[in-house]
Structure 1
Amino acid sequence: MLKIQEDLGFSKEEWDRIQRAVYWGEPDRQITSVTMCTSPDHSTFIINDFKASYYVGEELHATIVAKDCTGRPKSYGGDFFQAKAYSNKLNAGVFGEVLDHHNGTYTARFTLPWAGEAFVAIRLIHSSEGVQILKQHRDMDPDRVNFYGFFVGKNKQGAKVEEKVDCNVKWDGVAISGKGSCCCEYPDVRTGLMWHCRKPPTLPCNTLVYYTHSVYKNHMTDLEKEIMDKQHVNRWINGDSRMITVLASNSTLGVREACKPGMPTPIPAGFYLDDVWTSFVCATRHFNAKDKTKCLKDHHIYIMGDSTSRQWYDFIIESVPTLRRMNQHTIENNGPHMAVDVENNIDLHYRSHGTPRISVARQIMADLHYISNEIDDMAGGPHTVIVFNVFAHFTTFPLSYFAYRVSQIRRAVVALLRRAPETKVIMKTANTGHKDFYRSDWLSMQLDRVLRETFNGVGVYILDVWQMTACHHNTEDIHPGPVIIKNEVDILLSFICPT
């Protein structure tokens, strides 16, 4: 078996770059009381050099001052703030970049992309003390999440029996919970990955049929629980509430070229106006049902990942009337699923990524394939589109494990593009949504940085949905609402059918 912990699939230079991308400042002292933590009630922000009016395309800066629960200004950084400029009247929003000065102050930078009114809003997602808790438990808790395996077979009397045991990935820093002898091992030869379970009481290892998510285990101390409670997490902070007046300008925000692979993602990557996203990455457009059918004609589209990418699969089917779902008698969450349009020669597929997958519903083990293996088995070509995403089910696992999974996908993509360079490969980034101890946006953002760094320069399309979900007026959800999904799918189709 490959010692994957010693070889994550990166050069030293690449791994150093990834480490720099995920670096995050921490408190410079021991935290002994919740009063020492950054407080959303006491922290403030003010717009710098406020003017009576601005022009479209101008930058706006705001200074954030982090204060603890006693109202004392903080002297170190590491807080996770999220910023946006918005207008509820115009259904408009744009993501703001937050720069940490590592002294308790931060600068939020915005580009003002629409004419009319705008306001600034800033949230404290996690204090630096909360981020430290998330990081420590991610790195040190080997069994924060566990899984059950269900073995099905017959006993000596010929009666059908089912036996349940604890399972998990096999990786340094991950442990199988529960009691029982160890282990049934299920290695994947191509990836070098291993799933393993405790041995069932009577049935053999080859009778594993289903698995589910078991339980989340909370190993936080009482102080850590207090720091991570709702009073201190995901709260809007008080600040400058003045309305920003933005005037139309003859200048443009840049002429955008046709979408192509490898284009960088700026901040901001675009903005909402009247709930319609305008991209700053490339010349995207908006598609009606007829346009979608024309774009997808003669294409084979393979979507692989989690339930946020399955939203794309479902939305495309619902908005393209000629597509018909095929009943493959599979689990709804996992797939594989398929829809076809025979007349226009379109086939659309969805498949979940391989284990681990958090789900209380039973999953069929045989249906969970590693994305890299699926790509290895594809011929590719000018009529093939591959869409993938990975993040939400990996937040409780060591960064090294996620990095290895991503490196395997990269290896498969590089090989595919070498043998079939006209294949379109589209990577969907992580999106915002969860704020809790196990699935926090900070944990997702860390995985997202690994993902982006890994595919830097590979030649895939990067579809940024982090900013699209962070600056919309809808309440954040790990499964974004239809208006956001529509805009995301419009960008996807713009990649497939550039102007």
Structure 2
Amino acid sequence: MAQNYMLRKIAILVVATLLVHVMTLTFLFQQTNVFSTRIFHTSTETAELMMSNNSHCYDINDPRDPRFYNIILEEDALVFKPCKYVTKAASINHSKISLTDRVSGTYNIGEDIRAIVTLYDGYGKRKHSGGDQLRARIENKMLNASAPCVLTDNNDGTQAVTCEALWSGTSTIQVTLSYTREAITAIYRIRTQILSAENIGLKFRRGSYDENTICHPNATHLVKLTSYTDVCDMTYFNLGMSFYCGRPKDKHLQCQDMQLVEAKVPFPELQFTGCENILIKKGRQALKQNLTVHVHNKNGDTRHSVIEKPSIPCPKYNITLLWLSRGPTGFFYDEKWNLRNCHGFQQNHYQTCLRNRRLYVFGDSTTRAWYNNIQKRFQCQQTTEKWQFEKWHKDSECYNRQINFKAGWYPHAQPFLARTWDDMRSALYSISGRIDRIPRKERAIVVIHLFIHMVAFHHSVFKQRMEIIRESVDKFLRNNKQSIVMIKAPHTYEDTLADKYRFTDYFGYVYSKILYEVFEGLHDRVVLLNNRDTTVALHVVNKHPPKNIINAMIDQMPSYACVTK
């Protein structure tokens, strides 16, 4: 009996234990399903939380952190599905800005002005996620004074704004919603789906035979975009920069019969949702609410004053800091751009600065405008072919005999987008190839710019080109001790609908992060010219900056190249 009782007791315990395990497993399985279902069904609503939790473990002041550049990365942006409801995006009508340090709004020159933007959606509901790109500036219209402010995305629906009190008087802080997170997702997605926001056409011609095909800087992307079965590798002709075109079907035409290139219309079709279309068309919009602040004169009276100029000359400034600083590099006062980090170039010293020197300006139409300005400013007479029209795409050079100064503008290699058929050979020389050919003993100033003609493509195209350029720059600086290399960083703009959709300036911020990463190890030898601060300060709309901005941009260049005595 006792034995049977013990056996029944053991059996009951075993069954009870099994039941506990089954119940536990069932509970865990249900919880896992609930969790999985929750993530699946709410991925578009809670991805911001996932994005913020997927931290890259960098400090906000570390250039490796995307927030340093006021961007989100592609992999974070593409977590979201295309938006359906405009009213769920950040809205300028309901979002608010307020001071966080002083309710009075009164400051002294040189102090930081700190504010916070709280974002609300179209329903007036507070946002609790990040990813929207804001831009801000402080201005005093009476003084013709303005400066960019620094934005920090807290990934919780708020963004910190820091402006510097650089002049006395009453100023206004204006915040602009440049890109909603939903719009950023869209412009990233388009470049991964269609691989090109612009068609480049190449005309092959020999005798009476001609044929047009599509080109792309990435062979894999070209094949996916067009379904070509055979392509022409134009990289050799493009002096080392990858460029591929569909091979002509006509047996009379060969790859080397390339003649003309153009940005073809119609454009590739962009698959935006109705919500995304509305958000992108809106473009940059200022928040309905501005802040007014008051800055005391240094002497305590009512006269206007401005912060003291830096005492260190720019050639003696630690140029590594240009890559590491989030603060404004300058500000406008009385319509003149003033450098914030160091004492800049004086126009009346240009003869001493540029004597027996050679200036190479590589790039696109923006640096072509530089060349026009340089000709007039430094009395440099054209020595190459006279321009037949304003949008000139051929090498141009000038010479100032009095000081033995030469300057030249040289277009970067393909893709170099033109709206009409243009001689392809005009833009077949890469920046890296040109740098490799600069004589060793030359006292050269080299300015590199690559931007708008790359924006139609995935940002990996820009990175690949800059990596090639970096190799040439590294070799050049090791062999040319008397020369200096500068990179003109991207500027901001908002021009036509095509610019909003196909040539968005958001990627200028993405490119800035790429530049930092690619040129790591050369930050102490390569000068980064931050031209974005000038265009943000004046809220420039046209992608071709006006003359006062060009002047401000060019002033930075000799400031770092010319040693003042």
> TM-score of the superposition, structure 2-length normalised?
0.78
Structure 1 distance, partners of 2:156, 2:227, is 48
Q: Distance in 2 between matches of 1:178 and 1:292?
A: 51
**Rounded Cα–Cα distance in structure 2 between residues aligned with 1:324 and 1:432:** 30
Q: What is residue 159 of structure 2 aligned with on the other side?
A: 106
| Correspondent of 1:196 among 228, 245, 249 | 245
**Are 1:299 and 2:299 counterparts?**
no
Q: Alpha-carbon deviation of 1:303?
A: 0.6
- Please tell me the residue identity of whatever aligns with 2:542: D
1:479 maps to 544
2:95 matches 1:63: no
Cα distance between partner residues in 1 of 2:297 and 2:387: 56
Match of 2:314, as an amino acid? A
Identify if the C-alpha distance between structure 1 residues 383 and 249 changes in structure 2 by more than 3 Å, giving closer, same or farther. Answer: farther
Structure 1 match to 2:339: 279
Cα distance per residue 1:358-411 (max 9 Å; x no partner): 221333222321111111111244521111111111112222221110011110
Matched, 1:37 2:85: no
Determine which structure has more spread, i.e. the larger CA radius of gyration.
2
Secondary structure of 2:138's match? strand
Residue 308 of structure 1, CA deviation: 0.9
Q: 2:80, 2:185 within 8 Å by CA — same for their partners in 1? A: no
For residues 72-111 of structure 1, the aligned pairs below 5 Å read 72-111=125-164
Q: Are residue 122 (structure 1) and residue 175 (structure 2) matched?
A: yes
Q: Match for 2:481 among 404, 421, 435? A: 421
Q: Is the 8 A contact 1:56 1:249 kept in 2?
A: no
Using the alignment, how far apart are the partners of 2:220 and 2:97 within structure 1? 42
Asked if the contact 1:324–1:341 (Cα under 8 Å) also holds between the matched residues in 2, the reply is no
Distance 1:466 1:316 in 2: 20
Distance in 1 between residues matched to 2:116 and 2:406, nearest whole Å: 50
Tell me which moved more, 276-285 or 115-124. 276-285
Q: Give the Cα separation in 1 of the matches to 2:415 and 2:241.
A: 15
Q: CA shift at 1:225, angstroms?
A: 3.9
- CA spacing shift, 1:244–1:470, aligned 2, 3 Å: same
Is 1:436 the equivalent of 2:486?
A: no
TM-score by length of 1: 0.88
Any conservation in 2 of the 1:301–1:386 contact (CA below 8 Å)?
A: yes
Q: CA deviation at 1:451?
A: 1.6
Instruction: Identify which range, 161-170 or 306-315, moves more after superposition.
Output: 161-170
For residue 247 of structure 1, what is the amino acid of its counterpart? N
Q: How does 1:8-27 map to 2 (within 5 A)?
A: 23-24=72-73, 26=77
| Residue 213 of structure 1 pairs with residue 277 of structure 2 | no
| 2:395 maps to which of 293, 315, 336 | 336
Three-state SS of the structure 1 residue aligned to 2:142 is coil
CA-to-partner distance for each residue in 1:44-93, whole Å, 9 max, x for gaps? Answer: 21222233531111000111111111111111110010001111111111
Deviations 1:403-440 (A, max 9, x none): 11001111000001111122111111100013602111
Task: Tell me the CA shift for residue 297 of structure 1.
Answer: 2.1
Q: Could you tell which deviates more after superposition, 348-357 or 174-183?
A: 174-183
Work out whether 1:460 is the aligned partner of 2:520.
no
| 1:439/1:19 CA distance change after superposition, 3 Å | farther
The alignment partner of 1:187 has SS state of coil
CA distance in 1, matches of 2:420, 2:93: 40
Mapping for residues 249-268 of structure 1, pairs under 5 Å? 252=308, 255-260=311-316, 262-265=319-322, 266=325, 267-268=327-328
Cα distance in 1 for residues equivalent to 2:189 and 2:386: 43
Relative to structure 1, the CA distance from residue 262 to residue 76 in structure 2 (aligned partners, 3 Å threshold; closer, same or farther) is same
Q: How does 1:106-185 map to 2 (within 5 A)?
A: 106-154=159-207, 160-175=208-223, 182-185=230-233
Q: 1:176 to 1:134 in 2, by over 3 A?
A: same
Distance 1:77 1:23, change over 3 A: closer
User: After the TM superposition, which residues 327-476 of structure 1 pair with which residues of structure 2 at under 5 Å, given as runs?
Assistant: 327=385, 332-368=391-427, 369-381=429-441, 383-434=443-494, 436-458=500-522, 459-472=525-538, 475-476=540-541
1: CA distance, partners of 2:166 / 2:492: 22
Q: Contact 2:412–2:431 (CA<8 Å) still a contact in 1?
A: yes
Letter in 2 for 1:405: R
CA shift, 1:293, in A, is 3.8
Tell me how far 1:442 sits from its aligned partner. 1.1
Q: 1:152 to 1:80 in 2, by over 3 A?
A: same
User: In the alignment, is residue 186 of structure 1 matched against residue 234 of structure 2?
Assistant: yes
CA displacement at 1:262 relative to structure 2 = 3.0
C-alpha separation in 2, matches of 1:127 and 1:249: 43
Instruction: Tell me the number of residue pairs that the alignment of Structure 1 and Structure 2 aligns.
Output: 475
Once the two structures are overlaid, the 10-residue window that deviates more, 293-302 or 116-125, is 293-302
More divergent stretch after superposition (340-349 vs 242-251): 242-251
Aligned counterpart, 1:11: none
Match of 2:3 in 1: none
Change (3 A) 1:152 1:262: same
Higher helix proportion (structure 1 or 2): 2
Distance of 1:361 and 1:297 partners within structure 2: 39
Identity score, percent: 21
Q: Matches of 1:57 and 1:257 in 2, distance apart?
A: 20
1:245 aligns with 2:295: yes
Gaps of 5+ in 1: 1-15, 155-159
Moved more, 222-231 or 482-491: 222-231
1:322 to partner: Cα distance: 4.7
Question: Which segment is superposed worse, 128-137 or 250-259?
Answer: 250-259
- Check conservation: 1:312, 1:485, Cα contact below 8 A: yes
- Alpha-carbon RMSD across the aligned residues, in angstroms, is 2.7
**What is the SS of the residue equivalent to 1:62?**
strand
Shift of the alpha carbon at 1:479?
1.2
- Following superposition, the deviation at residue 249 of structure 1 comes to 6.5
Amino acid of the structure 1 residue aligned with 2:235: P
- Alignment partner, residue 286 of structure 2: 236
1:112-142 CA deviation, whole Å, 9 max, x = no partner?
Answer: 1112221100100111111111111122322
Residue 326 of structure 1: how far off its partner (Å): 2.6
Q: Secondary structure at the match of 2:233?
A: strand
Q: Which moved more, 1:128-137 or 1:324-333?
A: 324-333
Higher mean C-alpha deviation, range 43-52 or range 382-391: 43-52
Q: What are the Cα deviations for residues 219-278 of structure 1, in whole angstroms up to 9, with x where unaligned?
A: 2233244343433x2000022443423422698575434325734233111111011111
Alpha carbons of structure 1 residues 132 and 457: separation in structure 2 relative to 1, 3 Å: same
Unaligned runs of 5+ in 2: 1-61, 301-306
Helix, strand or coil: the match of 2:94? coil
Q: Distance in 1 between matches of 2:474 and 2:180?
A: 39
Over residues 140-181 of structure 1, what are the superposed CA-to-partner deviations in whole Å (9 max), with x where a residue is unaligned? 322432211112211xxxxx3432222222344444755876
